[in-house]
Chains A and B, each alone.
Chain A
Amino acid sequence: MGMSKPRRIGTIAAAAISVLMLAACGGSGGSGGTTSGATGGKVDGTGKTLNVLMNVTAQYPQEQQAWFKEMSTKFKAETGADIQWETFATANDEMTRIQTSVVSGQGPDVYGLGTTFTPTAYSTGAFVKLGDNEWNQLGGKDKFVPAALGISGPDEANQIGIPFVSRPFVMAYNTELLAAAGIEKPATTWDEFTEHAKKLTTGDQYGVAVAYKDNFDPWKYIWGMSIQAGNPIIDGTEVRLDDPITKKAYETYFGWVTTDKVVDPSSVGWANPQALAAFAAGKAAYFPMTSPLSIPALDASAVKGKYKYALMPTVPPGETSNPSAGKPATSILSGDNLVVADYSKQKDLAFAFIKMITDKDVQLNYFKVFGQLPANQEAAKELATNEVIAPALESGAKSVATPFSGAWGDVQLSLTNVVVQSIPDLSSGAVSDSNLSQRLKDEQAKSQTALDRAKK
């Protein structure tokens, strides 16, 4: 048994390390940190460092670094505290960060979140719920565009997300092509939209540019047409993905390729930038599901000065007005929210920071540099006179939040998956009724399972 001693030592060491690791990981959970309301008064952050995690703006990396620097200086002047900036590239990167931070109880104090990701973040229970005290620290709820608050929490009493910027969806249209086809105004119903698209399709010019292969676009169309006809997809404890309303939405969306032939057949392989490129080259008259972020690309293209934005149609396929249960949604509620981590030991500082970057001047400047619309009401009002982006601001005000459920991520995945699995059919020219029904049924089951877990 000469070998047993070292082996035992090894075992004990390994066990000790495991225990230490577990303790390090699990030793948080509790709230901790100050929650004292420094209402109105100045927050003193001398010697402290605030850790902020934000979405990387791939389009403008240098401008973002400059903005970080500018904000750090401003924050230092206001509170005496420094800011440590971190960025993430995708929602998955961010979820990984949230997971590790939530489990270890340490990490960024402030997170920037995509709006549709807010319900998932909320379901982890790791972020500060905003009471009157917190809203006061931020400068009041009235400071924000009311619609932008639509996805801050499941209800008024349980909000975690503070609106930072808004990226509402609109459609771009080619003014020359529409005029040439004798169309005076962009379409306001989806049926009219399809009719226009047919008129606008000639030769190698198509009525619409659609990105069927995009990882996100497809579900936004389907959700939009569904909610306009009265199906919010998550309806209480039920998922209504196999509802006839939603099926009709898919049929319309697929019909542009298969029966109406108003889109480039290649678009079954396109992501959003490729659809944008087709529109920018003047090869498509309508480009739905875009945002003011496309301005720089369009202004540098063949359609400079020949395009405008308009609201996407708000009347569902097959109707001339919204049914009573339907909502004339112009867009999903899209943009970024800011949340404060529950484990943060400097919450006052975090709120002071968020107040600073949601103030009017900072928000207007942010729009100028990055093209993202302000969530600050006064700033938004000031921009409303800008003709190019006015439709986007209007879309933001009339956008409808996707259901606030931890299961939304799964539902979104299911809505997209129906399109992904239908692409071979789309490419061959027809999606059969039985195939579509079967896919809806499969995804309905998956989504319902996810929703059932959310309700536990």
Chain B
Amino acid sequence: MASSVTEPRPSDSSPAAGAAAEPGETTPPGKRRKGLSEKNRPLWLLIPGGLLMTIVILVPLAMGIWMSLIDLDQYTLRQWVSAEFIGIQNYIEAALSSELLRSIWLSVSFAVISTVVTIPLGVAAAVVTQNAYRGRAVVRSIFLIPYVLPSFVVASVWRTMLQPDGIVNVTLTNMGMDGGLWLNGPNAYWTLVWVEIWAAWPFIYLLALSGLQAVDHEVHEASALDGALWWNKLRYVIFPYLKGPVSLAFLLATLNHINNFTLPYVLFGAPAPSDVNVLPILVYVTSFQSFRFGLSAAMAVVSLILIAIPLFIYLRAVRLDVHEGGKK
């Protein structure tokens, strides 16, 4: 493991690094080198990307924020430029007299539960398919099935199975249990979590697998020489390697769960039962069934902020946004 760190890395021989090491360049001792690379970097090269980002992300974001401040609905849509500016009234309405806060709570709790359950599943599946054995390719393919199925198909199939007279309830009845209602009422929340877990764990599996494959062969050899048994090896040698990929998986998976619209929409329809009135459904109904575009924009902005705060803290905590060596 140590050898890989001391070996020259490809990035060390990059032109920037080379320029910084030019003998003509004087750098005060003790201070971090600030070579040519940081002074006269050709930042204008970023313009194409920057323009694209402006058009694709910043302009819509700005328009979204602006929409949240005006009284935009079906009546004002046509003259949207002159729609009345109403300040934070949409925000007040979203927070006080809509389902927004409850929906955010439902969405976030559902997303976190789904992620927390899928991580051990995904990592376990990755470990199981790490070593070569007969039939491993088949197992790996089977593991990917839920991931390659479109969300719409997954939701339709589960909706059919979970009908009051569907196959799940018929099976439960045959086993002497009462299935009850899965697609409405308090169970609906757990149905959503269950189906999401079913559909999403291979994502964790994929990232964990990539983490495992990054473990050098020598590491396995060294731990074998040290006599580490499988659990100790896994716990103290292999898992540390997975910290990065799995942290990233945690982040991406949680955001995907929060943003998943298709699954609850197809499973439960709109208007959704109150136990699964998650954020995307609420925003959708407000926008496209009540046509309150301003209000739904405010909801989207509030949820963006509420989700961005823990996200930021998490990013700092797991240092995903920081390069090796602590340099940003």
Contacts and interface: CB of A to CB of B under 8 A. Distances in A.
Given A2-B39, A18-B62, A413 B164 contact: no
> Which size class do A's interface residues fall under?
35 or more
B47 interface: yes
A442 B224 CA distance: 66
B184 A17 contact: no
Contact of A103 (B54, B80, B285): B80
B126 to A, nearest CB: 37
Contacts of A421: 273-274
A409 B80 contact: no
A428 B279 CA distance: 28
Given A17-B59, A103-B80, A409-B291, A123 B274 contact: no
Interface in A125-142: 125-126
Contacts of B51: 10, 13-14, 17
Interface string B39-62: 110011011001100110011001
Contact of B269 (A6, A95, A213): A213
Nearest to B184: A423
Contact of B289 (A3, A7, A266, A413): A413
A288 interface: no
B78 to A, nearest CB: 5
Contacts of B47: 6, 9-10, 13
Interface string B282-296: 000100111100000
Contacts of B81: 22, 26, 29
Contacts of B74: 120, 123-124, 406
Contacts, number: 120
Interface in A421-456: 421, 423-424, 427, 450, 453-454, 456
Given A95-B288, A269-B164, A409-B290, 18 more contacts: A13-B51, A17-B54, A21-B59, A26-B81, A29-B78, A102-B77, A103-B80, A213-B183, A269-B181, A409-B289, A413-B290, A416-B271, A420-B184, A420-B271, A423-B185, A427-B185, A454-B75, A456-B75
Given A17-B59, A413-B285, A450-B290, A126 B78 contact: yes
Contacts of A22: 81
Given A123-B75, A406-B74, A95 B291 contact: yes
B78 A266 contact: no
Contact of B78 (A18, A124, A406): A124
B219 interface: no
Residue of A103, A264, A265, A269 with highest tally of chain B CB at under 10 A = A269
A423 B182 CA distance: 11
B271 A413 contact: yes
Contacts of B181: 268-269, 423-424, 427
B288 A266 contact: no
Interface bracket on B:
35 or more
A14 B54 contact: yes
B290 to A, nearest CB: 5
21 contacts: A10-B47, A13-B54, A14-B51, A17-B55, A17-B59, A18-B59, A29-B78, A120-B291, A266-B163, A268-B164, A268-B181, A268-B184, A269-B166, A410-B289, A413-B289, A417-B271, A420-B269, A423-B185, A424-B185, A453-B75, A456-B75
Nearest to B181: A427
A268 B271 CA distance: 15
Interface string B205-236: 00000000000000000000000000000000
Interface in B159-202: 163-166, 180-181, 183-186
Contacts of A456: 75
Contacts of B186: 424
